[in-house]
Structure 1
Amino acid sequence: MFRSSLALRRVALASLAVNILLVITGGAVRLTSSGLGCPTWPKCTNSSYVTTQAMGYHGMIEFGNRILGGADGVLAALAVLLVLLSRTRDRRLIGWSIAVLASIPAQAVIGGLTVRTELNPWVVACHFLFSMLIIVATYRLWLATREPAGPVRHLVNAPIRALNWLLLAVTAVVLAAGTVVTGSGPHAGDEHVHHRTGLDPGMVAQLHADLVMLLIGLSAAWCFALWAVGAPRATIRAGAALVGIELAQGVIGFVQYFTHLPSLLVGLHMAGACAVWTAALVTQTAGRVREPLPAASEAPVPAPVLPATAATR
């Protein structure tokens, strides 16, 4: 039996889903020009912690995103509680659940800084990229609830694992470059804010597209390597799913660029970024399994120790 309860598994999965949803709703905040719907932080207005009628629908959208962040914190705290109340003490569950819980207030502070700096694009980029780190923690927590607590057994060789680490690193670079493209484009997050990176949008968009092509090529090469060495089908399927999601995300990216960045497509592109990142994380763990720990009754029985006098007869 795995070392985690069904309740903890469901809470961990809900936490992962909510953090992905937070990225998508955060994009909706920006794309509806509601980034300053609550013009201060931690309050929504100078006199109220909640949105007021005077803030209109922009305030409702921004405050709704804050409410979702609060729900995320409740799930993280509940996960830690369930881990601590469990009969066993799996270090992975303890470590990842605490990491998720600690990341929530840190992310809230970064979100507050985006408001306090009037949507500075570099701070907004940090806000998005920190969400990607939280998705890593929530995914690993959920994975730990589904696996035994024993040692890892790799299903692919070291060079293929190294190529997969390179693939994950390039994925992170692609996401970071995407935030620069966003920070250089027209969607500042509020109609009265005009802070941009100052970089040429066409230049950074071209760099981002080149990195995407590199990522798709690495992903395809990793899939081919898996097929060549006869890797398990589940591992190959994880790689093929990543390539498919990357291709779909690339199509959305090109269409949104040539149609002058309509809000709907930009929102889909942000959701696609979460899908690409999550699929890349799945490939990281698809090439290994964890062995169950031996039960106490299965432990080897030590040989009896004979008295010294008996041993010399």
Structure 2
Amino acid sequence: MPETIAPGARPTRDDSGGRPPVVLGRPLRVLAWLSFLAEVIIIGTGGAVRLTGSGLGCSDWPLCTPESLVPIYEVQGIHGIIEFGNRLMTGVVGLLAIAVLLLTLKALGGRRSVVSALWFALGGIVAGAAFFAIAMLFVEEAFPFFTLGLILATITGAVHSLRITPQRRDLSLLAWLVLIGVVAQAFVGGITVLTGLNPFIVGFHYATSLILVCVTAAYLVRARQQGGQRVSVVPRWFAVLSHVTGLALAATIFFGVLTTGSGPHSGDANVIRDGFDATVLAHVHSWPGYILAALVVTLTVSAWMLRLPPRRWLIVLAIAIVVQIGVGIWQAREGLPEILVGIHMVLASLSAAAYTVTVLKLKRPVESGEDAVRSARA
């Protein structure tokens, strides 16, 4: 039988301290969905940059060239446009992250929380400018230090915001993590260009983008639930097996990133790969993939037999994994065509998002005393 509240345990209140439940307006919900979709899309546009050999379409950062913010078609051609388009998508992702954060803070902490975040934003610009001015005295490429100042200010703002947020700190934390991740991504993206598309940094850039997809997915799930204490709704063995499945998924993605880093799609014809044998890595990448598939099938069958709450999302995860394996085998047999590699990259992010939702469904919020009575009578 699934685990429930221990006998004699008293349901706890939401973390609102007795305040009315948080109401998230429709605009915030729509923006949260757009933020999730944008995080998935930017993986696709980033993949397009790499798969079309446009990684150095813009040779500089944050400008496209030392003389121009935008690409010059006569000089850089379509590669410059593709790379610059991905940079513009980063701006869209950033604006959505800011909008979701500010609306979340307004819903949770009111005007005080929003004003505090805006002050930290101003402080971040000042700190970034100071970092930039100091770095110019020692290095030629100083702009990454401006971004570093923004990251530090954003992290500081997040810590302060969480301290003054009166309720639903889980939503506040998730919204801040997305913004911090986007700013950090801009920093890593700049380093990627300045290091000439180092394959390890490119792989890290993709992995962090995938994590942001999972965080935005987690926000969507938690936004539909009440806060406070959560209790397990599945047997302990099922929860353990679910987390083991997460390790298999992480290993599959990790070796997939290494495999791509040793394959033919480096982002530019003159970029040196990471030195690993792509053929060997392709097989190593498949092993945790097949283990992952077996674990997901086991969880899915068990969940439906026991009628556990995560069963519907496990169906989604199982379909994503099966399609992912099919595309992986197809692309390997066809010599890694660009379109299939791109689909494989996006599917990996969707698989990770589906797994994130599944894990969050392993627990449910504890009902208030009044809700518990109503549930018992129903």
Q: Same fold (TM over 0.5)?
A: yes
What's the CA shift for 1:52?
2.0
What's the CA shift for 1:143?
1.8
Q: Across the two proteins, how many residue pairs are aligned to each other? A: 293
Whether contact under 8 Å (2:108, 2:168) holds in the other structure is: no
**Bigger Rg over Cα:** 1
Match of 1:164 in 2: 242
Match of 2:181 in 1: 103
Structure 2 distance, partners of 1:86, 1:282, is 23
CA RMSD of aligned residues (A): 1.8
Deviations 1:42-79 (A, max 9, x none): 11111122222322111111111111101111111111
Deviations 1:93-136 (A, max 9, x none): 21111111111110111111111111111111100111122122
Structure 2 distance, partners of 1:257, 1:34, is 23
Deviations 1:5-59 (A, max 9, x none): 2221111111111011111111011111111111111111111222223221111
Match of 1:262 in 2: 337
Q: How high is the sequence identity, in percent, across the aligned residues?
A: 33
Match of 2:33 in 1: 13
Match of 1:59 in 2: 80
Runs of 5+ in structure 1 lacking a partner?
299-313
Partner SS state of residue 29, structure 2 = helix
Q: Which amino acid aligns with 2:37?
A: A
Structure 2 distance, partners of 1:136, 1:261, is 26
Which moved further from structure 2: 203-212 or 183-192? 183-192
1:212 to 269, 278, 289: 289
Partner SS state of residue 170, structure 1 = helix
1:234-273 aligned within 5 A: 234-273=309-348
- 1:81 paired to 2:158: no
- 1:39 paired to 2:59: yes
TM-score normalized by structure 1?
0.88
Q: Which amino acid aligns with 2:298?
A: A
Structure 1 distance, partners of 2:369, 2:195, is 54
What's the CA shift for 1:294?
6.5
Match of 2:307 in 1: 231
TM-score normalized by structure 2?
0.74
What's the CA shift for 1:292?
5.2
Partner SS state of residue 104, structure 2 = helix
Structure 1 distance, partners of 2:70, 2:212, is 26
Alpha carbons of structure 1 residues 264 and 106: separation in structure 2 relative to 1, 3 Å? same
Structure 1 distance, partners of 2:58, 2:368, is 51
What's the CA shift for 1:3?
3.4
Alpha carbons of structure 1 residues 294 and 17: separation in structure 2 relative to 1, 3 Å? farther
What's the CA shift for 1:192?
2.8
Partner SS state of residue 310, structure 2 = helix
- 1:173 paired to 2:266: no
Which moved further from structure 2: 123-132 or 82-91? 82-91
Q: Which amino acid aligns with 2:357?
A: V
- 1:279 paired to 2:354: yes
Structure 1 distance, partners of 2:67, 2:304, is 61
Partner SS state of residue 53, structure 2 = coil
What's the CA shift for 1:291?
4.0
